[in-house]
């Protein structure tokens, strides 16, 4: 029989607290001890474990994707929220951030990207969607992307269903409720127009899986992460804020909750609006971002014949020493390669303007044009210039129809632009060129899941699971800085079973 005891010993509490912190990233303080005990004894009772030690041994031995880990996390992270919570702060977001941004983008590019990080049961991102609908009457002419993520699977399912009771409207006017909801069996169902504006995904903010094209956390205009940092210790919170900085586009905004600690990252600046502080990404002038001054003379590539051996490992070209009569052909190839190699050296040194100069020169050489076009597209994408990135990626694959990385980059750009079908078409070409290209299957799964094509999504994620089971766990994926094969496998499994 399960133990009727409802209080943990000091040793058991310490061990469970450390387990939850190390495995999930949640920081359990002494004030939350009673809540932790309630969650643990509830799970022990449901599973029939006789003691806390027995249950601890069980959860230590199961993977993160196991259903029991999901149940435990669901209990530990039950969030309290409602529509238009912290109304004054949301009104500042509407009047001081979204309205000016929309007015500016209406002239330039009609695109808006928002991330609700720690969205709970969906009231916050849906509130933002309603605000945007009020500000942009003709949404069909805009590309509005609202991403909402959470660690709690039950909350995400409730958010996707978009059915709410009266308690969720305790700070909402009847005008808003009647405008955007239908009354159904003592509940209120959100209209499809608003519901379709938000995409819900599982994401643990502790995991270093963002920014990434995989989960649509790049080039974000506004991140709202309110009353979430209270679950983490200071070190974890600093790491999360650092990654938020990388997710935002230049001068993007970060909104934290009233109970969250102040942002101490010096790269963020704050603005005060009616007593409320909102953070924005402070970007240094372009000329100070590089490791070396831009006026420095161009660095030549030395010993080009030795460098070509290094080049062959990163591009599909052969540089074999020709017979004596083909010396001119050899000279043309190595000179073309020199531009690419020089550009790569500047790229890895962070001197992107110089790298672009070299790649543009290399693009004029037929033998090296596709690779140079690809690198130009990559630099443009990393800088947030998606239109130019798309143009150059398309040039790359037009020049070399077997350039897998070109199609993959093009798919990432299409996803960031909200163009799902062209992204799917490009990804299908990647897995056609390489049936073992797990990254392509994963991204297909993400898009299919977003489109509610669950059978296709499950098939894609299952392919990822099969392909990565024997991959080196800690090895980083090429072209995806900081994401290992084990991390990609974990994300695939979580999507497969969620």
- pLDDT band for position 135 (50/70/90)? very high
Query: Are the beta carbons of 189 and 219 closer than 8 angstroms?
Result: no
**In this predicted model, what pLDDT tens digit does every residue of 229-269 receive, in sequence order?**
888 888 999 999 999 999 999 889 999 987 788 888 889 99
- pLDDT band for position 271 (50/70/90)? very high
Highest mean pLDDT among 97-106, 353-362, 373-382, 479-488: 97-106
Domains of the chain and any CATH numbers = 10-76 (1.10.155), 87-283 (3.40.50.150)
Q: How far apart are CA 473 and CA 166, in angstroms?
A: 47
Q: How far apart are CA 176 and CA 433, in angstroms?
A: 50
Q: How far apart are CA 165 and CA 158, in angstroms?
A: 12
Query: Are the beta carbons of 232 and 27 closer than 8 angstroms?
Result: yes
Mean pLDDT of the chain: 82
What is the average per-residue pLDDT within 362-380? 84
CB-based contacts of 379: which residues, under 8 Å, 6+ apart? 347, 352, 355, 356, 359
Count of alpha carbons within 13 Å of 195, Cβ hemisphere only?
16
- Does 194 score more than 60 pLDDT? yes
Q: How far apart are CA 58 and CA 78, in angstroms?
A: 23
- Please state whether 151 falls in left (phi above 0), alpha (psi between -120 and 50) or beta: alpha
Largest interatomic CA distance in the chain: 90
- pTM of structure: 0.64
**In this predicted model, what pLDDT tens digit does every residue of 296-327 receive, in sequence order?**
334 444 443 444 343 333 333 333 333 444 44
- pLDDT band for position 123 (50/70/90)? very high
DSSP 8-class letter at 215: T
Q: How far apart are CA 59 and CA 18, in angstroms?
A: 13
Nearest to 374 by CA among 394, 346, 401, 345: 394
Sign of CA pseudo-dihedral 443, 448, 451, 452: negative
- pLDDT band for position 366 (50/70/90)? low
Q: How far apart are CA 272 and CA 202, in angstroms?
A: 32
Specify the pLDDT at position 339: 80
């Amino acid at each position: 029989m399960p133990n009727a005891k409802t209080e943990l010993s000091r040793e058991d509490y310490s061990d469970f607290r450390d387990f939850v912190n190390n495995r999930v990233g949640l920081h359990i303080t002494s004030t939350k001890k009673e809540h932790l005990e309630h969650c643990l004894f509830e799970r022990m009772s449901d599973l029939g474990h006789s003691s806390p030690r027995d249950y601890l041994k069980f959860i230590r031995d199961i993977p993160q994707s196991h259903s029991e880990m999901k149940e435990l996390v669901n209990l530990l992270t039950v969030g309290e929220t409602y529509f238009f919570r912290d109304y004054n702060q949301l009104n500042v977001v509407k009047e001081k951030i979204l309205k000016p941004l929309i007015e500016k983008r209406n002239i330039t590019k009609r695109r808006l990207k928002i991330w609700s990080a720690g969205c709970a049961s969906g009231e916050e991102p849906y509130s933002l969607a309603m605000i945007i609908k009020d500000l942009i009457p003709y949404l069909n002419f805009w590309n509005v992307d609202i991403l909402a993520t959470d660690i709690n699977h039950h909350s995400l399912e409730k958010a996707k269903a978009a059915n709410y009771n009266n308690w969720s409207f305790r700070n909402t006017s009847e005008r808003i409720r009647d405008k955007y909801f239908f009354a159904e069996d003592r509940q209120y169902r959100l209209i499809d127009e608003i519901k379709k504006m938000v995409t819900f995904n599982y994401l643990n903010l502790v995991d270093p899986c963002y920014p990434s094209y995989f989960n649509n956390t790049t080039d974000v205009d506004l991140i709202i992460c309110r009353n979430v940092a209270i679950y983490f210790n200071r070190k974890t919170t600093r790491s999360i804020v650092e990654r938020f900085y990388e997710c935002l586009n230049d001068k993007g905004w970060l909104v934290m909750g009233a109970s969250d600690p102040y942002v101490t990252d010096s790269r963020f600046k704050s603005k005060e609006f009616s007593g409320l502080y909102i953070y924005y990404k402070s970007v240094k002038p372009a000329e100070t971002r590089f490791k070396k001054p831009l006026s420095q003379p161009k660095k030549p590539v030395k010993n080009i014949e030795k460098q070509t051996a290094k080049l062959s490992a990163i591009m599909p070209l052969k540089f074999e020493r020709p017979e004596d009569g083909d010396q001119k052909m050899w000279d043309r190839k190595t000179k073309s390669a020199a531009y690419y190699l020089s550009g790569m050296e500047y790229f890895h040194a962070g001197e992107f303007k110089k790298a672009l100069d070299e790649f543009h020169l290399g693009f004029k050489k037929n033998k090296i044009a596709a690779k140079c076009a690809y690198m130009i597209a990559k630099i443009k994408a990393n800088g947030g210039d998606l239109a130019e990135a798309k143009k150059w990626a398309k040039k790359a694959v037009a020049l070399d129809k077997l350039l897998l990385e070109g199609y993959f980059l093009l798919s990432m750009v299409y996803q960031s632009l909200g163009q799902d079908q062209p992204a799917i078409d490009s990804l299908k070409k990647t897995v056609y060129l390489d049936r073992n290209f797990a990254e392509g299957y994963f991204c297909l799964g993400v898009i299919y899941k977003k489109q509610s094509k669950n059978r296709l999504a499950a098939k894609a994620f299952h392919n990822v699971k099969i392909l990565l089971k024997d991959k080196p766990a800690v090895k980083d994926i090429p072209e995806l800085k900081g994401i290992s094969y084990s991390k990609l496998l974990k994300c695939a499994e979580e999507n497969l079973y969620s």
